[in-house]
Chain A
Amino acid sequence: DAKTTQPTSMDCAEGRAANLPCNHSTISGNEYVYWYRQIHSQGPQYIIHGLKNNETNEMASLIITEDRKSSTLILPHATLRDTAVYYCIVRAWGNSGGYQKVTFGTGTKLQVIP
């Protein structure tokens, strides 16, 4: 799996958009970008994933650069409940080569401020 680089921490004002960057310069063609978050003392929660097109769901938007070497997770209107550690992960999809385990880096600790 390709390695990712994220800022250690970020602050965001409540109600504003939170933009969380992730660098994955060694991503290969069959690897997807996934985002998970972990609220304190809970299990990780899946947020969104994408391959090369921008994606949006009820939780967030994912913007992937054209060269796919970086991406940004956008929480459009951050709330206090969005305070968590956000993990950016890249991995291949499919059954070839293994069980598709998710390997976590250190993530970005997002603090939403009232």
Chain B
Amino acid sequence: GAVVSQHPSRVICKSGTSVKIECRSLDFQATTMFWYRQFPKKSLMLMATSNEGSKATYEQGVEKDKFLINHASLTLSTLTVTSAHPEDSSFYICSARRGQGAYEQYFGPGTRLTVT
């Protein structure tokens, strides 16, 4: 149990275009989902936290208008990178927390974004 999937696993897009990444909790309802970004040989950096049905809370320095997060259901959150630039190329990882009071977070396999 407690599986989190991401789609796509890899995506290449051109500068200026937008790309959407999906994060799904497959066998549990996730009241809270998190989005991370990881550059090569670096640690994961939290971008934003979202609760189902409410606006995401972004970490300092993360542009909310550039990284649009939607958490429309208890099993799906999406991250849309708008007007992508090469410097947005990174490994994007989501995680999900199962229910109120749950203390474990389950991570997705990540999405490799390359902007050309």
Contacts and interface: CB of A to CB of B under 8 A. Distances in A.
What DSSP secondary structure best describes chain B's contact surface?
strand
B103 to A, nearest CB: 5
A100 interface: yes
Interface residues of A, number: 23
Contacts of A105: 43
Instruction: State the majority secondary structure of interface residues on A.
Output: loop
Interface in A34-62: 36, 38, 41-46, 49
Interface string A86-114: 01000001110001111111110000000
Contact of B97 (A32, A87, A100): A100
B49 A104 contact: no
B1 to A, nearest CB: 12
A49 B102 CA distance: 13
A46 B105 contact: yes
Interface of A: 32, 36, 38, 41-46, 49, 87, 93-95, 99-107
